[in-house]
Amino acid sequence: MNVRKKTAVRAAANNVIPLIALLLLGLWLLKPAWRSSADRNRPDSTRSQTTTTAPHPEDGQGRPPRSDASTSAQAADNALKTAFDNQQSGVQVQAEGVVTRILSDDLDGSRHQRFILRLRTGQTVLISHNIDVAPRIEDLKTGDRVEFYGQYEWNANGGTVHWTHHDPDGSHMGGWLKHRSRMYQ
């Protein structure tokens, strides 16, 4: 297979596989009957904190219906929570969070911009963004929202997400950061 075909196949796989995973997680979240009764009765910290007095006809629990966007965001957050709970590493993840702390750059080897995000689930992750390969987020501040796609590595503090940039060699799935509608890859 020539290089152009390999690149096209790799690009298609990079786009399709994460979407399929998110779709499956979204379907699982939308179908309460698929979950055990213990799971259905447990409070879900990723659900909306809005309370209503009348039950919603869909779920009978008084929760407003979920939008497609919030469902896929919850699926992404749940994928990260699952990876953390199961101490998994090497998992491609996509989610978003709020910057809680900006750390100094890691200057050992390739330079990395580092900051901590808090996800909607309350989990925190360290973002380690290679600034020798991708541009730095210059105007990043505490409280900013950042969306990310990269490789999750487990640790007891919540985990690290790296490979948030393209791969110049084309041998690893590329990632990205999104801040104020601008992509960094």
Are 129 and 114 in contact by the 8 Å Cβ rule? The answer is yes
List, for residues 136-177, the tens digit of each pLDDT value. 999 999 999 999 999 999 999 999 999 999 998 888 899 999
Residue 7: per-residue pLDDT: 61
One-character DSSP codes across 96-128 = EEEEEEEPPPB-SSS-EEEEEEE-TTS-EEEEE
What is the pTM (predicted TM-score) of this model?
0.61
The CATH class that applies to domain 3-184 reads: mainly beta
Q: Which residues make beta-bridge pairs with 160?
A: 126, 153
List, for residues 109-129, the tens digit of each pLDDT value. 999 999 999 999 999 999 999
| 161: nearest Cα among 173, 182, 175 | 175
User: Domain segments of the chain: what residues?
Assistant: 3-184
Query: What is d(CA 88, CA 118) in angstroms, rounded to the nearest whole number?
Result: 19
